[in-house]
Amino acid sequence: MKLLRVGPVGHEKPAILGPNGSYRDLSAHIDDINGANIDDETLQRLRGLDIATLPELPKDQRIGACVSGVGKFICIGLNYADHAAESGLDVPSEPVMFMKATSAIVGPDDDVEIPRGSQKSDWEVELGVVIGRDAKYVDEKDALDYVAGYCVINDLSEREFQLEREGQWVKGKSADTFGPIGPYLVTRDEIEDPQNLAMHLDVNGKRMQTGNSKTMVYGVAHLVSYVSQFMSLQSGDIISTGTPPGVGLGMKPPTYLKPGDVMELEIEGLGQQRQNVIQG
């Protein structure tokens, strides 16, 4: 299933992608797509619905973030060896973890705001993993059983704030609008192998990033297990798994976002995003 949330900010309706790309209203069956409604039992119940009989929502409506009420937004840094190299950093001996503020979360096609004073705002297409049930001290062999599904994430980063302003990466990652998520939460049964998904990101029609999740240093199952050794994961939490090469920081000379730019990104089987860049 491809689940999404449709409507104005704060008033999104839960929906499912129906025949011919239609949006079908799930409001009579769940109140939202959130941690309370993405467990295996609820998802199985939704699979049993006759989608064609559900009310159809207008296609011209805004699409919101595909999961609401996210408790933790956990990111993995330097998880593609070639991205680490372009950043001038070594491949880490263990996954690098940092947190991104949940207030950064927006819809997949919402505007992205350049923070005040920013000169180095950057893009990062990433595979997002949405947790479907509480996980603590999970074995890697069982880890994917705790995944509700997958989504596209643009893990935007302000490189000066992240790397030159002291402290942890979080303040370079957490600006408002720096976490577009969606368009869909694609349930795990639709993704045969999360370690073989092509992805790309364009800026103003020019291809900047091209990659595949098969080149991750640490795969999805390892990451879910690893993170669960340090903190419990709750249903609705998101893990963003790192980005392939092609970010602005790695270019010669470095190239960063400016108002008027347009980002378009896609991950195989998970849908597309498109963001206009504006001044915050």
Alpha helices, H only, the chain: 40-47, 81-86, 159-163, 170-173, 220-230
**CA dist., res. 21 & res. 256, Å (int):** 34
Q: Is residue 177 part of a domain?
A: yes
pLDDT tens-place string over residues 187-227 = 999 999 999 999 999 999 999 999 999 999 999 999 999 99
The CATH number of the domain holding residue 235 is: 3.90.850.10
How many alpha carbons lie under 13 Å from residue 73 in its C-beta half-sphere? 23
**CA dist., res. 256 & res. 254, Å (int):** 7
Mean pLDDT by 10 residues, the chain (280 residues): 97 94 96 97 96 94 97 94 75 92 98 96 98 98 98 97 87 97 97 97 98 95 98 98 94 96 98 97
Same domain membership, residue 82 and residue 21: no
CB 47 within 8 Å of CB 1: yes
Residue 123 has a pLDDT of 98
User: Which tokens go with 213?
Assistant: 């999740």
Domain span including residue 15: 2-57
Give the chain's length: 280
CB 272 within 8 Å of CB 152: yes
Residue 103 has a pLDDT of 98
- Identify the helix (H) or strand (E) that includes residue 98: strand 96-99
Q: What is the pTM of this model?
A: 0.95
Same domain membership, residue 152 and residue 24: no
Q: Is residue 68 part of a domain?
A: no
User: Which tokens go with 148?
Assistant: 């509700």
- 160 Cβ contact list (under 8 Å, min separation 6): 118, 119, 120, 172
Residue 85 has a pLDDT of 77
CB 76 within 8 Å of CB 91: no
> End of a domain among 57, 84, 99?
57
Residue 186 has a pLDDT of 98
Residue 83 has a pLDDT of 73
The number of folded domains in the chain is 2
Same domain membership, residue 80 and residue 43: no
Same domain membership, residue 185 and residue 127: yes
Residue 92 has a pLDDT of 86
